[in-house]
């Protein structure tokens, strides 16, 4: 624990120093980056220690917080999330150092971000270890505000500042729910210390259901569950890429962490909780990937794909909870472990994809993949990394995405075989949705990679793109290797996750015997098959090389049915590639089409523009906020614009509260 706390202190101190120290901006940046890396490394050591020794560490600071105490508790579940947080923070700090290099040299703005960056990492890690509601909420708010400041990095640009405000409003709505939830539970339990909430399990089903719903909305906003995901595709593209990676890779997972924690504090769930989670997971998963398919802004697409992956995680969580409700411990452990593994996997490959996308944006100066093309030749390292990330996120072996989907599928198939029919139905829905999501994700990521990296460049920026610098390359390769290492270490990781899932639920789980041992051995066979696949591929490559060696190997233009003067504009674009699929889902996508048809006998200019909307935004939130705005306009007379009047309001409010209390 001391190592962990020391890591947090290093990061905080370094952040403050990097912000305050005057003079050469390079020094400040170096301090910020170095302390982020060192602090994350120390924190990682602390978390790994807890995972390895399987002990729970509790610690209470001698200095109490106002209205609470600084109490932390690190168990296996916290440690899993800490590993993810610190691991990705380390890589993205190295990446961000290079990514903002130009800005670092020219302005102080780049240097200033490192305080917010370090604060974000510290607050995220405090969220997953907090044992007291006040500390939790404080850390949660610091996390939201520091990430808001990072999103607003380019705040002079109108779209960025708009995205940042959307994010702030969304996250505050979530916080309001959480405040209500903690107040209700704290009043009932008579304490804000989580360890005193054991009696929550014995509360009535109505009360527990209400708490669950408040938590689901509050944490769901942060996690990006459909339909409260609307801030995600706005905020993630606006932030600098290493911040997008950190937000999409780990920050949204704190919502998942808190949801898991809450559910297991509440005790044995009613079946409708699990059913609701499966339904939300399926909606997020399928709609997330469909929306992602329709995007051509590379970072916006990745943000929607995060909604999809959160959906997959929640499906696993929902199955796990249903398994608990219906007394199917294997389904419970497999579903939960699958969800946890997907949390880890998604942070690795989504971090990788956001960083590779950042490298592309850096090189081409735009985010529209329809203006790219042919980047593979110009940016081979970024291209290879993006390809690995694309295969991993599509769930293809031999990469890590397959393993977690395999576990969630397994939970569903075990449920089909052993469960009562009320469990079989949601399990079948999960199987069907995962299959559909897998196919659509392959379509989505073959589109991004194919259009952006393959073929011929569609404009000058793409033609003159340059490869990213060495630190960025190192980050990309580290995460690409992570995609394979997780598969290679499955034999150790999976039983560990089973144990974590068991401890979270309060069930003693022995991954060495019974059906779980079978599942564990199956997963290690899957990683064995992945190895066979790689070896066989290499063997065939040698065969091909031997066959072609010494033979005539020519070079020509692409065969275009005899047409000898192809232009780059004839290539398939992102929009045309996905048009058959998006037209199937057009009712959900809500395309906005702007058409300027050719007119007159000699038409000169014509244009056609289509943009995928977001139905949740267009039909749910926009009308709602318009309504709120109308209501607030009526209260305008309260706003005098004088500080004195506001002080009077505060005094009046206090007076009323005092009167009520008396």
Partner 1 sequence: MTWDSLCAYVLALVVAPLLTGIINRVKAMFAGRHGQPLLQAYFDLAKLLRKGAVYSGTTTWVFRTGPVAGLAAVLVALAFVPLGKVPALVSFNGDFLLVAYLFGVMRFVTVMAALDTGSSFEGMGASREVQFSALAEPAWFMGLVTVIYVSGEWSLSPALAGVSSGVWGPAGSAMVLVGLAWLGVFLTENSRIPVDDPNTHLELTMIHEVMVLDHGGPDFAFILYGAILKLWTLGAFLVSLVTPYRTGMVLLDLGYGLAGMLILAMVVGIIESIMARLRLVRVPHLLLTATAFALLALFLVMR
- 612, β-bridge pairs: 591
User: 48, 568, 588, 620: which one contacts partner 1 (CB under 8 A)?
Assistant: 568
Between 15 and 438, name the residue whose CB sits nearer to partner 1: 438
Q: What whole-number distance in Å separates Cα of residue 618 and Cα of residue 626?
A: 11
Q: Give the footprint of partner 1 on residues 498-537 (CB under 8 A).
A: 518-519, 521-522, 525-526, 529, 532-533, 536-537
User: 438, 482, 495, 496: which one contacts partner 1 (CB under 8 A)?
Assistant: 438
User: 20, 62, 553, 631: which one contacts partner 1 (CB under 8 A)?
Assistant: 553
Nearest approach, Cβ of 573 to partner 1 (angstroms)?
8
Binding mask 256-285 for partner 1 (x = CB under 8 A): ------------------------------
Residue environment code for 640-657, b if the CB has 16+ CB neighbours within 10 A, otherwise e: eeeeeeeeeeeeeeeeee
Q: What whole-number distance in Å separates Cα of residue 265 and Cα of residue 76?
A: 15
Between 102 and 417, name the residue whose CB sits nearer to partner 1: 417
Number of residues that bind partner 1 (CB under 8 A): 80
Which of the stretches 132-140, 204-212, 556-564, 615-623 binds partner 1 when contact is defined by CB under 8 A? 556-564
Sorted by sequence, the CB contacts under 8 Å of residue 516 that are 6+ apart come out as: 330, 333, 334, 495, 498, 509, 510
Nearest approach, Cβ of 246 to partner 1 (angstroms)?
28
Between 535 and 654, name the residue whose CB sits nearer to partner 1: 535
Which pair of tokens denotes residue 194? 């989580």
Task: Answer yes or no whether residue 460 interacts with partner 1 by CB under 8 A.
Answer: no
Nearest approach, Cβ of 436 to partner 1 (angstroms)?
5
Nearest approach, Cβ of 406 to partner 1 (angstroms)?
6
Q: What whole-number distance in Å separates Cα of residue 116 and Cα of residue 511?
A: 41
Q: What whole-number distance in Å separates Cα of residue 69 and Cα of residue 91?
A: 32
User: 394, 404, 475, 617: which one contacts partner 1 (CB under 8 A)?
Assistant: 394
Q: Give the footprint of partner 1 on residues 132-191 (CB under 8 A).
A: none
Q: What whole-number distance in Å separates Cα of residue 249 and Cα of residue 309?
A: 10
- The single residue listed with the structure tokens 């033609």 is 463
User: 541, 645, 654, 657: which one contacts partner 1 (CB under 8 A)?
Assistant: 541
User: 428, 463, 474, 481: which one contacts partner 1 (CB under 8 A)?
Assistant: 428
User: 20, 62, 557, 633: which one contacts partner 1 (CB under 8 A)?
Assistant: 557
Map 105-116 to HEC letters: HHCCHHHHHHHH
Nearest approach, Cβ of 562 to partner 1 (angstroms)?
10
Residue environment code for 51-65, b if the CB has 16+ CB neighbours within 10 A, otherwise e: beeeeebeeeeeeee
Task: Answer yes or no whether residue 396 interacts with partner 1 by CB under 8 A.
Answer: yes
User: 227, 395, 426, 482: which one contacts partner 1 (CB under 8 A)?
Assistant: 395
3-state SS assignment for residue 64: coil
Nearest approach, Cβ of 530 to partner 1 (angstroms)?
9
Between 551 and 642, name the residue whose CB sits nearer to partner 1: 551
Binding mask 406-425 for partner 1 (x = CB under 8 A): x--xx--xx-xx---x--x-
Nearest approach, Cβ of 518 to partner 1 (angstroms)?
7
Nearest approach, Cβ of 414 to partner 1 (angstroms)?
7
Nearest approach, Cβ of 421 to partner 1 (angstroms)?
6
Confirm if 310 and 221 have CB atoms less than 8 A apart.
no
Nearest approach, Cβ of 276 to partner 1 (angstroms)?
22
Kindly report the CA angle at 538 between 532 and 539, in degrees rounded to 5? 85
Which of the stretches 137-145, 212-220, 440-448, 608-616 binds partner 1 when contact is defined by CB under 8 A? 440-448
Between 106 and 576, name the residue whose CB sits nearer to partner 1: 576
DSSP 590-609: -EEEEEE---SSS----EEE
Between 22 and 562, name the residue whose CB sits nearer to partner 1: 562
Residue 347 DSSP label: H
Residue 510 φ then ψ, to 5°: -110, 105
Q: With CA atoms as reference, report the closest residue to 472 among 158, 84, 98.
A: 98
Confirm if 566 and 455 have CB atoms less than 8 A apart.
no
Between 525 and 611, name the residue whose CB sits nearer to partner 1: 525
Between 190 and 528, name the residue whose CB sits nearer to partner 1: 528
Q: What whole-number distance in Å separates Cα of residue 6 and Cα of residue 40?
A: 10
**How distant, in Å, are the alpha carbons of 39, 54, 79, 525 from that of 57?**
19, 10, 10, 34
Nearest approach, Cβ of 487 to partner 1 (angstroms)?
13
Q: What whole-number distance in Å separates Cα of residue 289 and Cα of residue 119?
A: 32
Binding mask 343-382 for partner 1 (x = CB under 8 A): ------------------------------xx-xx-----
Residue 455 φ then ψ, to 5°: 75, -155
Task: Answer yes or no whether residue 443 interacts with partner 1 by CB under 8 A.
Answer: yes
Nearest approach, Cβ of 275 to partner 1 (angstroms)?
18
Binding mask 571-590 for partner 1 (x = CB under 8 A): xx---xxxxxx--x------
Between 14 and 374, name the residue whose CB sits nearer to partner 1: 374
- The single residue listed with the structure tokens 């959307």 is 166
For the chain, give the longest Cα–Cα distance: 96
User: 53, 202, 513, 558: which one contacts partner 1 (CB under 8 A)?
Assistant: 558
Which of the stretches 212-220, 325-333, 472-480, 570-578 binds partner 1 when contact is defined by CB under 8 A? 570-578
Residue environment code for 212-238, b if the CB has 16+ CB neighbours within 10 A, otherwise e: bebbbbbbbbbbbbbbbbbbbbbbbbb
Confirm if 78 and 97 have CB atoms less than 8 A apart.
no
């Amino acid at each position: 624990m001391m190592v962990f706390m020391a890591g947090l202190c290093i990061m905080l101190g370094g952040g403050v120093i990097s912000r305050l120290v005057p003079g050469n901006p390079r020094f400040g940046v170096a301090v910020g980056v170095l302390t982020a890396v060192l602090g994350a490394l120390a924190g990682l050591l602390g978390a790994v220690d807890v995972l390895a020794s399987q002990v729970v560490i509790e610690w209470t600071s001698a200095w109490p917080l106002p209205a609470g105490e600084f109490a932390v508790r690190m168990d296996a579940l916290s440690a899993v999330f800490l590993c993810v947080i610190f691991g990705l923070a380390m890589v993205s700090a190295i990446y961000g150092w290079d990514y903002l290099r130009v800005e670092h040299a020219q302005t102080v703005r780049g240097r200033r971000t490192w305080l917010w960056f370090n604060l974000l990492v510290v607050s995220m890690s405090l969220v997953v270890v907090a044992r007291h509601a006040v500390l939790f909420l404080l850390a949660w708010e610091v996390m939201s505000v520091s990430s808001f400041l990072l999103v607003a990095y380019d705040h002079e640009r109108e779209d960025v500042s708009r995205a940042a405000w959307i994010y702030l409003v969304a996250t505050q709505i979530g916080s309001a729910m959480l405040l209500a939830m903690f107040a209700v539970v704290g009043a009932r339990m008579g304490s804000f210390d989580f360890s005193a909430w054991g009696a929550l399990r014995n509360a009535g089903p109505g009360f527990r259901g209400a708490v669950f719903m408040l938590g689901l909305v509050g944490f769901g906003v942060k996690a990006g569950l459909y339909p409260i995901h609307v801030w995600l595709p706005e905020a993630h593209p606006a932030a600098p890429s290493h911040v997008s990676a950190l937000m999409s890779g780990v920050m949204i997972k704190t919502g998942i962490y808190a949801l898991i924690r809450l559910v297991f504090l509440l005790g044995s769930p009613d079946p409708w909780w699990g059913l609701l989670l499966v339904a939300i997971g399926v909606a997020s998963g399928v709609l997330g990937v469909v929306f992602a398919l329709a995007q051509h802004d590379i970072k916006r697409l990745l943000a929607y794909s995060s909604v999809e992956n959160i959906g997959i995680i929640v499906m696993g969580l929902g199955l796990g909870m249903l398994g608990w409700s219906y007394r199917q411990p294997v389904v419970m452990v497999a579903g939960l472990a699958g969800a946890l593994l997907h949390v880890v996997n998604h942070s690795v490959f989504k971090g990788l994809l956001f960083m590779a996308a950042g490298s592309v944006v850096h090189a081409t100066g735009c985010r529209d993949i329809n203006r790219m093309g042919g980047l593979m030749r110009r940016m081979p390292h970024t291209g290879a990394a993006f390809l690995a990330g694309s295969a991993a996120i599509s769930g293809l072996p031999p990469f890590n995405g397959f393993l977690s989907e395999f576990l969630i599928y397994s939970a569903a198939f075990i449920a089909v075989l052993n469960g009562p029919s009320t469990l079989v139905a949601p399990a079948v829905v999960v199987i069907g949705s995962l299959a559909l999501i897998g196919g659509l994700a392959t379509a989505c990521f073959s589109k991004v990679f194919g259009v952006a990296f393959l073929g011929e460049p569609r404009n000058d920026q793409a033609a003159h793109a340059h490869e990213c610098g060495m630190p960025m390359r190192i980050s990309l390769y580290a995460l690409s290797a992570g995609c394979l290492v997780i598969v290679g270490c499955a034999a150790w990781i999976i039983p560990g996750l089973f144990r974590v899932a068991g401890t979270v639920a309060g069930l003693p789980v022995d991954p060495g015997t019974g059906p779980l041992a079978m599942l564990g051995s199956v997963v290690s066979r899957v990683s064995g098959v992945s190895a066979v696949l790689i070896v066989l591929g290499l063997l065939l490559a040698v065969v091909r090389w031997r066959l072609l060696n010494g033979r005539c190997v020519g070079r020509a233009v692409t065969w275009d049915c005899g047409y000898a003067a192809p232009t780059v504009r004839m290539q398939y674009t992102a929009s045309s590639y996905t048009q058959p699929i998006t037209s199937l889902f057009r009712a959900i996508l809500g395309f906005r089409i702007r058409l300027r048809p050719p007119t007159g006998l000699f038409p000169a200019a014509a244009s056609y523009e289509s943009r995928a909307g977001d139905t949740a935004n267009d039909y749910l939130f926009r009308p709602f906020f318009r309504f709120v705005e109308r209501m607030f306009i009526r209260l305008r007379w309260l706003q005098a614009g004088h500080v004195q009047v506001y002080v009077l309001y505060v005094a009046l409010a206090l007076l009323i509260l005092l009167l009520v209390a008396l």
